[in-house]
Structure 1
Amino acid sequence: MRRETGPAIAPAAAPQTPRDCPGCGAAVAPSAVLCVNCGYDFRSKIKHGLQKEAGEASSGGLKKKRRARSGEISQWLQLARGCLVSFIGAMMGAFVWYIVAMLTHSEWGLIAWGLGGLAGVGMAVGYGHEEALGGICAAAIALVAIVIAKAAIFISILFPAINALAEMSAEEMAPEGVAVEEAVGEGEPVAETPDGSSQSTDAQAAPGEEMAGEAAAGEEPLGEELLDEETEVGAADLAGVGAAFGVLFFTTMFSLFDIVAIILACATAFKVASSVGFGD
């Protein structure tokens, strides 16, 4: 009797051993023509991917450095723009403050508060970053604008009044000066000597003529000494006038209420500029 059998089963193929890549040493299939690890081409015996990846890596690093550097430069430019816009806003507030003072002949310290708000809004619009750096710059700009506004008010309103008082005092002292000038012109005695006798203007002028004659004769070189003394006296007078002007300005324009208003203005400028951002 004949037995039917099924199809013959082919013997399993022997597994192929992987080969090593000459480029990187990684194991690859025997039939592979390109190493996926390093890009070695078994047909042309050339490694393609390593050089390309290195070039991409170096160019990527340069791009990152350039991008970071350009980001820093753009941020500083944005800060400069914010300072400019903040200064414009603060000076607008200072101008309004000056106009109100000129019209009302009085200083309104609360306007400084609004000036600080304008400085903060200008920094927030121009800079656009919610950072403490913008707030510090806005507060400093607000303080500078307040000092400028107060100086303008002082010069335009208070300084002429002080000059008027000085002129009134000079007019009161004028009659005494006229009397002295008339006495000198007539040669009358205007001063008394220690022994009780009076001395005329001719006698007073004699020592001056004597000194001039001695200087002309070369006995006493007074020209350079007098010039140096006058220069020192003039410099001292100028420094004294400047110091007196500064003391008068600060004592007149910066009262306790003004200091409180300035603190509020700087705090407002810092808060608005550092916590409100209108851009990236």
Structure 2
Amino acid sequence: MATSDSDRVVVVCTCGAKLRAPTTLAGKRVKCPKCTSPIHVPGQRPGVSTSVDASSSQKQVGHRTPAEALAPLGSLRGKPAGASPKSKAASVASPTALDDGDDFLSGLAGHEASSSAEPMEALPTVGGPCLGCGGVMATGAVVCTQCGFDTRKGKASKTQVGPGKAEMATKAAGRFALGVTFCSVGALIGGGIWFAVGWYMDLEIGYVAWGIGALCGFGMLLGNGQPNRFGGLIAAGIAALAITAAKAAIFVAVIGAHIERSIPDAESRATMVKSYMADEMLDQKGLKPGDERDAAWDDAFKKAEAKVAAMSQEAIDELWERYTQDAEDKVAADAEAASASTGAAPDENPGILAIFFKAMFGVHDLLWFGLGLVTAFQVAARGSSADD
């Protein structure tokens, strides 16, 4: 017998299949044609009254007592055997099937399948909701990729199905690159602040190194999204580079300013050239230091003035550089001769790197330096908390 859509109810199986069931099966359990799992058909069977009187107003609508459920059976047994086809159709839709089993077992589904009611139709599956988390499952999927719920077992699997390893590795690499970027930005900000304090305020505040380490750690943590020991090591390394670079910038700026101040102006260079030329004239005459040399000094200096006045500034600068280098070489030779006579080793001028580390990395500087590295690692590897 044909049944309209209004006489059907749509149910969803745990396997994701959507089924249309005749309303005559309402309130019963049937087998799913796809996975054979029992399905409860919701709704009320035809012919069952849901009205209640005032004395039972607190009962749930559609609730029946055992006496009420068995009441229609007595009237059905009194029907004559030669009932009309119309009455037979009514008996199929009536709750007479309760005689054989409202026992919530799959045997009821077999009983209903053998009746004259139309079988249920399977609807095309387009991805049903997960019974575990409510998310949408893919077509034909039996395991939810979001929570691991297995529709065959009715519970979540121990091994959840998630994104592939390649996809997870790509996301992790992207987060790490972002963490390195934020960490580097924090290092630049901290190093810039330290250089500004050292240059404009003429101060070198050691605990700024601690701040640089904290900025590097928080930058790595913010970009990486979660604490990570490898990220902590990278943050500590970037902090070390930033602290060293900031100290080097301060050192170069200060040394450069000192050298610039130590270079005499043009007039001073000309005066120095005159003195060097006068001494050179006296040396050529063979005059030794003493009264005779002092008496001849004024005359030699006037001759040197006349020569310098006729020279260009470029020639004066060249003479100044030559005389300065000769004076430095003479000082070095005298020091070497003195050490040779006494047997002591001559003093060696330390290199620029030795001067840098000696001036910029004292005991307190090393203390703040180490504290900055530890802070960068702790923040990036364990978050803002000290607990692992």
> TM-score normalised to the size of structure 1?
0.51
TM-superposed deviation, 1:179:
3.8
Q: Which amino acid aligns with 1:267?
A: V
Indicate the larger mover: 249-258 or 260-269. 249-258
- Structure 2 residues without counterparts, runs of 5 or longer: 1-35, 37-140, 142-160, 287-349
* 2:245 counterpart of 1:151: no
Alignment of 1:1-280 (within 5 A): 67-165=164-262, 167=263, 178-182=274-278, 190=284, 244-276=351-383
TM-superposed deviation, 1:134:
0.6
Q: CA RMSD in A?
A: 3.9
TM-superposed deviation, 1:258:
0.7
User: Percent identity, aligned pairs only?
Assistant: 29
Cα distance change of structure 1 residues 178 and 257 upon mapping to structure 2, 3 Å threshold: same
Encode CA deviations 1:75-96: one digit per residue, 9 max, x unaligned: 1221111011001011111111
Q: Which has the larger radius of gyration?
A: 2
TM-superposed deviation, 1:74:
1.9
TM-superposed deviation, 1:149:
1.1
Q: Distance in 2 between matches of 1:84 and 1:191?
A: 71
What residue is the counterpart of 1:50 in the other structure? none
TM-superposed deviation, 1:156:
2.2
Cα distance change of structure 1 residues 160 and 271 upon mapping to structure 2, 3 Å threshold: same
Q: Distance in 2 between matches of 1:91 and 1:138?
A: 13
Q: Which amino acid aligns with 1:271?
A: Q
Is the CA contact (8 Å cut-off) linking 1:93 and 1:118 kept in structure 2? Answer: yes
- Structure 1 residues without counterparts, runs of 5 or longer: 1-35, 37-55, 57-63, 193-242
TM-superposed deviation, 1:73:
2.2
Q: Which amino acid aligns with 1:98?
A: F
What residue is the counterpart of 1:224 in the other structure? none
Bigger RCO (CA 8 Å, 6+ sep): 1
Q: Distance in 2 between matches of 1:89 and 1:259?
A: 21
Q: Distance in 2 between matches of 1:143 and 1:106?
A: 20
What residue is the counterpart of 2:101 in the other structure? none
Q: Distance in 2 between matches of 1:268 and 1:147?
A: 16
Cα distance change of structure 1 residues 149 and 189 upon mapping to structure 2, 3 Å threshold: closer
Counterpart of 2:164 in 1: which secondary structure?
helix
Counterpart of 1:190 in 2: which secondary structure?
helix
Q: Point out the structure with the larger helix share.
A: 1
Q: Distance in 2 between matches of 1:179 and 1:159?
A: 28
Cα distance change of structure 1 residues 163 and 191 upon mapping to structure 2, 3 Å threshold: farther
Cα distance change of structure 1 residues 172 and 128 upon mapping to structure 2, 3 Å threshold: same
Encode CA deviations 1:190-222: one digit per residue, 9 max, x unaligned: 286xxxxxxxxxxxxxxxxxxxxxxxxxxxxxx
Encode CA deviations 1:147-170: one digit per residue, 9 max, x unaligned: 1211221122343124434x37xx
Cα distance change of structure 1 residues 162 and 65 upon mapping to structure 2, 3 Å threshold: same
Counterpart of 2:258 in 1: which secondary structure?
helix
Q: Distance in 1 between matches of 2:206 and 2:283?
A: 58
Cα distance change of structure 1 residues 252 and 159 upon mapping to structure 2, 3 Å threshold: farther
Cα distance change of structure 1 residues 250 and 159 upon mapping to structure 2, 3 Å threshold: farther
Encode CA deviations 1:176-200: one digit per residue, 9 max, x unaligned: 753443576x7x76286xxxxxxxx
What residue is the counterpart of 2:290 in the other structure? none
Cα distance change of structure 1 residues 180 and 105 upon mapping to structure 2, 3 Å threshold: closer
Indicate the larger mover: 88-97 or 68-77. 68-77
> TM-score normalised to the size of structure 2?
0.37
Pairs aligned (count): 169
Q: Distance in 1 between matches of 2:285 and 2:162?
A: 87
